[in-house]
Amino acid sequence: MVNVALIAHDKKKLDLALFAKEWKDVFKNCKLYATKTTGKILKEKVGLEIQTFESGPLGGDLQIGALAVSGKIDFAIFLRDPLTAQPHEPDVSAVLRICDVHNIPLATNLATAEAIVLEIQKKLNN
């Protein structure tokens, strides 16, 4: 099983939902984790099974980061809004740092997210 974290800032949630819908055949074969609102949108709009945590500003980013530290995340897609200041920016930075420290492939935009999904697809087909 491939474990994937899916996180998106408010202005990127629709982008992530459309992306997940496009790649639903891949994602439905993964164990998915998301922050609360992102997970709710992906469940309702795409029909994916997702384990959700708190919203990002309430510690959800850090909860997913803890999973990454414990080796339970294989890939992360975190669609960030680079043009809007985030009140929980230190938490966002922590998740990015954890992915770097633990060598977890991380996408922060749709182009790199597609590259990651293609890699997940390869792993699932092996």
Catalytically active residues are 61
Question: Is 120:4 a contact under the CB 8 Å cutoff?
Answer: yes
How many CB atoms are located within 10 Å of the residue 77 CB? 28
Burial class, 73, CB count within 10 angstroms (exposed 0-12 / middle 13-18 / buried 19+): buried
Q: List binding-site positions for substrate.
A: 9, 13, 55-56, 88
Strand extents, DSSP E, 9-80: 30-34, 50-52, 75-79
